[in-house]
Amino acid sequence: MKGKIGLWLFLAALVVGFVALLASRVGPATLPADQAVGPFTLRDLLFYAVASLAMVGTAFVALSRNIVYSALGLLFALLGTGALYVFLSADFLAVTQLLVYIGGVLVLILFAVMLTSRITDVNVSNTSMGVAGGAALFFATAPVLVFVALATPWAARSSPGLAPTTREIGDAFLTGWLLPFELASLVLLATLIGAVVIARKELKPDEEPTP
Amino acid sequence: MVHVGLPHFLVLGALLFSAGLLTVATRRNAVGVLMGVELILNGANVNFVAFNHYVTGGVSGQVFALFVIVLAAAEAAVGLAIVLAIFHTFRSIDVRAADTMRE
Amino acid sequence: MHEAMHEAAHALGPLAVHHVGYLWLIPFFPLAGSFINLTLGWRWERSGMKRNVHVVAVGAMLLSLAVAVYAFFQMRALDPEHRFLQDTLWNAFTSGRLSVDFGFALDPLSMMMVLIITFIGSLIHVFSIGYMWDDEAKAYWRFFMWLNLFVFSMLLLVMGDNFALMFFGWEGVGLCSYGLIAYYYTDREKAAAGMKAFVVNRFGDFGFVIGLLLLFWGLGGAWALPGDGGRARYEPTPGVNATAPAANMDEALAVTPTVEVGHGQLVKIGPTLNFRELRDQVVIEKTGIAEHLKNQKVWGVALLALVGIFMFVGAMGKSAQLPLYVWLPDAMAGPTPVSALIHAATMVTAGVYMVARLNFIYALSPSAMGWVALIGALTAIFAASIGFFQYDIKKVLAYSTVSQLGFMFIGVGVGVYWAGAYHLLTHAFFKACLFLGSGSVILGCHHEQDMRKMGGLKEYMPITRWTYLIACVAIAGFPIANGFYSKDEILWKAFTSQHLALFGVPTPWLGPAIYLAGIIAATGTSFYMFRSYFMTFTGKYRGGEGHQHEHGEDPHASVAAPHHADPHGHHDAHPEPNHVTGHVHEAHGKVLHLGHDAHGDHGHDAHAANDNAAHGDHGHGAHGGHGHTPHESPWTITLVLSTLAVGSILTCFLGLPALWTGAPPALEHWLEPTLPAEVSFAHAPHWMEWLFQGLGVAAGAVGLVFAWALYKDGRSTVPARIKERFLSAWTVVYNKYYVDELYDRIVIQPSLAWGRLMSWLDGHLIDWLVNFAGTATRFFANIDGAIDKYVVDGAVNLLANATIEGGRSMRRIQTGRIQTYLYGALAGGLAVILLNFLIH
């Protein structure tokens, strides 16, 4: 370890120097997102980076044989999606995505994966439909949707502003969206109880409860 | 290449959705199927928020996306509970094992 | 005398009809009696009230006689021209010109017949009480039932006012004679005799119907128009044979053509079955029907000749003429009263009655008359010859009946209808007396019928003997009894007849020839009747001695061994030789042994007819024991015999010849209105008539003398010697000229062969066809079954299997995996979207 400290210090200095260089290069102030970098703005590049991350994660989820890889891929997909929410001025939503989706659902999925991965073997992770079926499905749906997305003349605003949304969402929940809000809480309650009920293992006399 | 705008997000959402569909349809692992479902929901969420940002103002889309997240969580919980229950019954989480409804 | 009567006939108009309402009672009483005995008689007999049976039967007869006598007196009170009582009950049916009433008519001829039937019938019923009381068949009621029914049928026959009713009675008497002859039906021979009578009668009836139909057509049609080359074609004469549709008799009357014959009287012309209408239109010349009939020919033969001959065929059957007489001797198998009633007095005279009734038709056809007279003469002499050698007393009487019937037909054949009817009447009396006397003898000798076992009965049975003797005198033709008068008249008229022809050719020689045959037959009659008298009543009683002596007499005995070894001496009759069948009593190999067994064994007749009665009890007065001593019969029998004998004498006065009294005989005068036929006779001087009467008496005397010489007291051996010398001839005559055997060969065997052929055809052809149909059906059924099994079921199964297979393959969609379902749903949804996009 003693010998490696120097390596670690070196790597750290490298990274700091690179970032300082970058920072000095780009300028002293904050970088505006709209600053052009070639034909793209920074904003665009960032978007593509995040989107690629999400796509890679999605690919892992869909195509990986290993279920754990799929779970991690899901993590990145969710992460990327969350980052994209920021682009869309949904800051609260992005954080909620992180907290609930990744922190709750994904963890739950990971738990399930870990709990059941022992008895799964590689075979089970294989896709059931085969490459052909999967490809057919993907290429049946994606082009249609993409085409719709691209061809439809959306009535889009050119560059809407970014603004915090938390206060508005809070207001919305307690005024216009009150009923769904309450119903959602009921759903959650039901889900809680239901999940417990469903997942509870019926103990038969000669069986021990599984861990 | 045009600047990032609504179509980009919509394409992303479409891709997410399609990938999730693919995952649901093809995975043999039950948990994997659930992951696909999450992807689908996420794709829908992206659409919602994108439209909210670019087409309609306000926060309706985001609120809806929030609800989707809530329900996705609930659904994931219940789904996994079901998976566990199936695992108890069929001793396997291969979706092909639970085919007593066959024929 | 006779010419006056013929002229009177010319002046005749339509018969005046006197309507009465009680004539139906005359046949009704016997019918009612028969019915009562049929329904209640067996019960009476079983419960010991047997006398009710004969009370009912005899009572019915007496009631009928009473009504008949009443009708007679009423008729006598009428004018001779108007003596026609008519009682029409209802119209049986009307169809075009054919109108049949159920009606009775009494004119003098049928009145005479009715009186004979009811009077002599009553006497015979009384006789039957004594005769049948202890009869072994234990069916007293059945006997009287048949007897009454017979009288009913006979009354229908004579009282019916049209052919249809007469034929009804004609058939009815045939049926009743069957029932009575085959009374002891448990004996196959006797049953066969009954069948023979019926079947032979049917032959005759066939001829009768043909004659009737010819007459019916002849009245209204023509078979071959004259000048037409004789080509047979039936063409109704429009005016005469009007056949406008008529629904009942009144309508029929309205449309029938009529001819006015003076005094505003209308006579119906055209085809009819009613006797009165027929007589009116034929007799009254103004209608032209007689000429019409005389001119008609059927295939070249005169219609009237055919009618007469065919109807005479019916008479041949019913009245036992050649060649259909064969049933009458066999009919002796019935009880003796039956023989008396049916075969002496009534049924067999139906033919004579019929010819007398149709005298006007016959008179128009000399050929028919000649034919009738010829057959009658041949029958008379033929039957008389057979009667010479018979041993059974009833057979003798049977052949005598056939012979006397021949005489009657000579009478009606030559045209002296009243004499034929008179002979009918006298014959009824003396033949009934003879038969009943023989019944008394048989009863007294304990059912012995063979005359060789009788003899000397005059000491034991005096009444029977005297009445029998009187009847023999009557039949032989001595003037003290009635037979002479009728027979003499017949033979005289036969000799002087001018009206006869044969096959259209006048034959003036036929009359004298018939006379010759008749006189020979009369001689023979006298001979064999007195033979029977002497054998039965004179000499020593030969009965109960066994039959050893018979073997010596009959050389043919060695051929056929005695068949029965019966402990009772009487039954062990000597079996007669029967060359044809070679056996005697038990030849039942043939179904119909008409004439073979029933008649071939005369000796068997000794126990054939009445032997079913127990030996112990005979006659009404239970003389007890099986003694061989003959005895007189009880009073019911002797009274009847006496009555008949007295009647035989008294009825002389009905027919005293005009030669003696100068006036027409009573009966001739009585019957005159009914006999309008014009027949011409030669006019002969009176001395000739006296001569012929003397010849008749001489003939009877000759027969008597020979019989006396040969058979009195049974002393003479001449009969035996003659028999030995002429054995072959004797055998031929004894075996009735083998006529029955001839019939067997000609008629019966071919019929049986035909029957066997038909049976073979039926078994092989028809059954083959039926079986073939069955086989073909089975074959097609198999094909159909195969088609059904493989094609039809195959199609159905194919459908089912296709469905199953389709389902099985469809089932694979249900994988049970959600992903598959999801995939499917998505695929479907996407397809819709795609289609939407593309088509849009």
Q: pLDDT per residue over C376-391, tens digit each?
A: 999 999 998 888 888 8
The predicted structure's pLDDT at residue A191: 92
Q: How many CB pairs under 8 A join A and B?
A: 250
- Give C 807-836 residues with CB within 8 A of chain B: 811-812, 814-819, 822-823, 826
> Measured between beta carbons, which residues in chain A are less than 8 angstroms from residue C817?
128
Tell the burial category of A12 from Cβ atoms under 10 Å away from its Cβ (0-12, 13-18, 19+): exposed
Q: Is the pLDDT of residue C228 over 90?
A: no
**Tokens at C817, concatenated:** 């995996």
Q: How many CB atoms lie within 10 A of CB A146?
A: 18
pLDDT tier, C409 (very low <50, low <70, confident <90, very high otherwise): very high
pLDDT tier, C9 (very low <50, low <70, confident <90, very high otherwise): very low
Residue of C nearest to B24 (CA): C819
Query: Which of B2, B6, B22 to mutate against chain A (most A CBs within 10 Å)?
Result: B22
- Give A 76-105 residues with CB within 8 A of chain B: 77-78, 81, 84-85, 87-90, 92-93, 96-97, 100-101, 104-105
d(CA C102, CA C828): 101
The predicted structure's pLDDT at residue C571: 38
Q: Which of C817, C826, C837 sits opposite A137 (nearest CB)?
A: C826
Q: Is the pLDDT of residue B38 over 50?
A: yes
Please judge whether A129 and C823 are an interchain contact, meaning their C-beta atoms are less than 8 angstroms apart: yes
> Measured between beta carbons, which residues in chain A are less than 8 angstroms from residue C833?
144
User: Residues of chain A whose C-beta is under 8 A from some C-beta in C?
Assistant: 128-129, 133, 137, 140-141, 144
Asked whether the beta carbons of C357 and C165 are under 8 A apart, the reply is no
> Measured between beta carbons, which residues in chain A are less than 8 angstroms from residue C827?
137, 140
> Measured between beta carbons, which residues in chain B are less than 8 angstroms from residue A154?
6-7, 10, 54-55
pLDDT tier, C341 (very low <50, low <70, confident <90, very high otherwise): confident
Asked whether the beta carbons of B20 and A145 are under 8 A apart, the reply is no
Q: Is the pLDDT of residue C563 over 50?
A: no
Q: Is the pLDDT of residue C569 over 60?
A: no
Residue of A nearest to B78 (CA): A195
Report the alpha-carbon angle C91-C92-C97, nearest 5. Answer: 80
The predicted structure's pLDDT at residue C426: 92
The predicted structure's pLDDT at residue C236: 60
Summarize pLDDT for A34-65 with one digit per residue, the tens.
666 667 777 888 888 899 999 999 998 988 88
Distance from CA of B21 to the nearest CA of C (A): 9
d(CA C330, CA C322): 15
Q: In this structure, what are the phi and psi dihedrals at residue C545, rounded to the nearest 5 degrees?
A: -100, 10
Is C826 within 8 Å of chain A by CB? yes
**Adjacent-strand bridge partners of B94:** B29
The predicted structure's pLDDT at residue B63: 94
Span C200-225, average pLDDT: 81
Please judge whether B103 and C814 are an interchain contact, meaning their C-beta atoms are less than 8 angstroms apart: yes
pLDDT tier, C227 (very low <50, low <70, confident <90, very high otherwise): low
In 3D space, the residue among C467, C442, C200, C453 whose CA is nearest the CA of residue C334 turns out to be: C442
d(CA A91, CA A96): 8
Task: Say if strands C235-236 and C221-222 run parallel, antiparallel, or are unpaired.
Answer: antiparallel
The predicted structure's pLDDT at residue C250: 67
**Adjacent-strand bridge partners of C221:** C236
Residue C398 to residues C338, C520, C526, C678, Cα–Cα distance (Å): 12, 18, 15, 34
Distance from CA of A15 to the nearest CA of B (A): 30
pLDDT tier, C559 (very low <50, low <70, confident <90, very high otherwise): very low
Please judge whether C816 and B27 are an interchain contact, meaning their C-beta atoms are less than 8 angstroms apart: no
CA torsion C38-C40-C42-C43 (nearest 10°) is: 170
Q: Residues near C539 by Cβ (< 8 Å), separated by ≥ 6?
A: C455, C456, C712, C713, C714, C715
Span C268-287, average pLDDT: 82
pLDDT tier, B9 (very low <50, low <70, confident <90, very high otherwise): very high
d(CA C650, CA C636): 21
N residues, chain C: 840
At what angle are helices A166-174 and B60-90 packed, to 10 degrees? 80
Measure CA C350 to chain center. 8
Neighbours of chain B (3+ CB pairs under 8 A): A, C
Distance from CA of A103 to the nearest CA of C (A): 28
**What share of chain C has pLDDT > 90, as a percent?**
25
The predicted structure's pLDDT at residue C741: 85
DSSP 3-state assignment of C391?
A: coil
The predicted structure's pLDDT at residue A144: 85
The predicted structure's pLDDT at residue A138: 87
Q: Which of B15, B28, B66 sits opposite A124 (nearest CB)?
A: B28
Task: Say if strands C301-302 and C297-298 run parallel, antiparallel, or are unpaired.
Answer: antiparallel
d(CA A189, CA B3): 44
Residue A65 to residues A108, A115, C719, Cα–Cα distance (Å): 20, 17, 150
**Tokens at C511, concatenated:** 């009359």
The predicted structure's pLDDT at residue C566: 34
The predicted structure's pLDDT at residue A170: 92
> Measured between beta carbons, which residues in chain C are less than 8 angstroms from residue A128?
817, 819
Span C170-194, average pLDDT: 90
Asked whether the beta carbons of B31 and A112 are under 8 A apart, the reply is yes
Distance from CA of A128 to the nearest CA of B (A): 5
Position with higher pLDDT, C756 vs C550? C756
Measure CA B12 to chain center. 14
Summarize pLDDT for C596-648 with one digit per residue, the tens.
333 434 443 433 334 333 333 333 433 333 456 777 778 888 889 999 999 88
Please judge whether A144 and C826 are an interchain contact, meaning their C-beta atoms are less than 8 angstroms apart: no
Please judge whether B95 and C816 are an interchain contact, meaning their C-beta atoms are less than 8 angstroms apart: no
Position with higher pLDDT, C264 vs C738? C738
Neighbours of chain A (3+ CB pairs under 8 A): B, C
Q: Residues near A22 by Cβ (< 8 Å), separated by ≥ 6?
A: none
Position with higher pLDDT, C13 vs C200? C200
The predicted structure's pLDDT at residue C233: 54
Listed range (B16-25, C580-589, C731-740) with the worst mean pLDDT: C580-589
Summarize pLDDT for C667-724 with one digit per residue, the tens.
888 888 888 877 888 888 888 888 888 988 999 999 999 888 888 776 666 777 777 7
Asked whether the beta carbons of C600 and C431 are under 8 A apart, the reply is no
Summarize pLDDT for C87-130 with one digit per residue, the tens.
888 888 876 667 788 899 998 999 999 999 999 999 999 998 88
Q: Residues near A42 by Cβ (< 8 Å), separated by ≥ 6?
A: A31, A32, A33, A34, A35, A36
Q: Is the pLDDT of residue C291 over 90?
A: no
Neighbours of chain C (3+ CB pairs under 8 A): A, B
Q: Tell me, yes or no, if the pTM score tops 0.90.
A: no
Distance from CA of A76 to the nearest CA of C (A): 25
Please judge whether B102 and C816 are an interchain contact, meaning their C-beta atoms are less than 8 angstroms apart: yes
> Measured between beta carbons, which residues in chain A are less than 8 angstroms from residue C834?
140, 144
Query: Which of A138, A144, A147, A150 to mutate against chain C (most C CBs within 10 Å)?
Result: A144
Q: Is the pLDDT of residue C209 over 80?
A: yes
Contacts by residues B57-60 (CB-CB < 8 Å, ≥ 24 positions apart): B57/A160, B58/A168, B58/A172, B59/A165, B59/A168, B59/A169, B59/A172, B60/A172
Summarize pLDDT for C139-162 with one digit per residue, the tens.
888 899 999 999 999 999 999 989
Q: Residues near C349 by Cβ (< 8 Å), separated by ≥ 6?
A: C113, C319, C405, C408, C424, C427, C428
| Tally of helices (H runs) and strands (E runs) in chain A | 9, 2
Tell the burial category of C240 from Cβ atoms under 10 Å away from its Cβ (0-12, 13-18, 19+): buried
| Amino acid (1-letter code) at residue B81 | A
The predicted structure's pLDDT at residue C535: 87
Q: Is the pLDDT of residue C51 over 90?
A: no
Low pLDDT (below 50) residues in chain A? 28-29, 123-125
CA max distance for chain A: 73
Span C574-593, average pLDDT: 40
Span B46-74, average pLDDT: 92
Position with higher pLDDT, C409 vs C295? C409
